[in-house]
Amino acid sequence: AQKVTQAQTEISVVEKEDVTLDCVYETRDTTYYLFWYKQPPSGELVFLIRRNSFDEQNEISGRYSWNFQKSTSSFNFTITASQVVDSAVYFCALQTGANNLFFGTGTRLTVIP
Amino acid sequence: KAGVTQTPRYLIKTRGQQVTLSCSPISGHRSVSWYQQTPGQGLQFLFEYFSETQRNKGNFPGRFSGRQFSNSRSEMNVSTLELGDSALYLCASTMGQALQTQYFGPGTRLLVL
């Protein structure tokens, strides 16, 4: 069975602070993809990043960075120098074998000006 | 390129009625997936359509159904609405092969009274 756990329900930070969102996943498949999506108040899920199970190279894209560790089944997401526009719900998701996604419960990030 | 579009954006129905939601994928995308998002259950996969055929299905009752047309546009139908069907229904599209990034539309907010 596939499972994604986002233990942090809500996080509040002051603008310009760094924040890390945690994601732990479970799957018995050897080939899978991990995703982060952002959901602003408008409701649309915005794709941020995708990582496949064979690529543990960590990535930095502007203020965003991702840390993928198969040994701990974790795929964490860090926002550096947070901004008010980063306020949203962030979802980690797992994809195995087909196109459907298994989502975590989301982490609501509030950036206080 | 235009993104995924969903109509209507908001809908109010009463128990027992039926409803049809529409999704137009990104141009060139042939797979459409539907998800239900509720505060209690989170984001859950409903079904996926590819080349007018249901390719994958989540764990939802038969009241939830869908179809896809030759131009890849998809509709989902919910019959005999229940209060618990109140949710944000999100549609996502991909090119069609497995394990691809899903791009989401803005969703349809359904309220069942």
Q: What is the DSSP string of chain B?
A: ----EEE-SEEEE-TT--EEEEEEPPTT--EEEEEEEETTTEEEEEEEEETTEEEEE-S--TTEEEEE-TTS-EEEEE-S--GGG-EEEEEEEE-SSSS---EE---EEEEE-
A100 and B94 within 8 Å at the Cβ level: the answer is no
Say yes or no for a CB contact (<8 Å) between B100 and A43: no
Query: Which chain B residues are Cβ-neighbours of A96 within 8 angstroms?
Result: 99
Contact status, residue A66 vs residue A78, Cβ threshold 8 Å: yes
Per the CB < 8 Å rule, is A43 touching B92? Answer: no
B10-25 pLDDT per residue, tens: 999 999 999 999 999 9
Q: What is the pLDDT of residue B54?
A: 95
| pLDDT at residue A20, rounded to an integer | 98
Cβ separation B101–A50 shorter than 8 A: yes
Predicted local confidence at residue A71, as pLDDT = 93
- pLDDT at residue number A9: 97
Of residues A43, A47, A95, nearest to B103 (C-beta): A47
Q: How many CB pairs under 8 A join A and B?
A: 64
Distance from CA of A29 to the nearest CA of B (A): 13
Please report, as a single letter, which amino acid is at residue A20.
T
* Amino acid B107: pLDDT: 97
Angstrom distance (rounded) from CA A112 to CA A35: 26
Which of A45, A104, A106 has the CB atom closest to B90's CB atom?
Answer: A45
Give the pLDDT confidence of B49-102 residue by residue, as tens digits.
Answer: 999 999 999 999 999 999 999 999 999 999 999 999 999 999 999 987 778 899
Residues forming beta bridges with residue A65, ordered by sequence position: A60, A78
Say how far apart CA B75 and CA A38 lie, in whole Å: 25
* pLDDT for A98: 80
* pLDDT of res. B59: 94
For residue B99, the model assigns a pLDDT of 80
Tell me the torsion sign for CA atoms B88, B95, A93, B103: negative
Tens place of pLDDT per residue across chain A (113 aa): 899 999 999 999 999 999 999 999 999 999 999 999 999 998 999 999 999 998 887 888 899 999 999 999 999 999 999 999 999 999 999 999 787 899 999 999 999 99
pLDDT of A12 = 98
Chain A residues whose beta carbon lies within 8 Å of the beta carbon of residue B90: 43-45
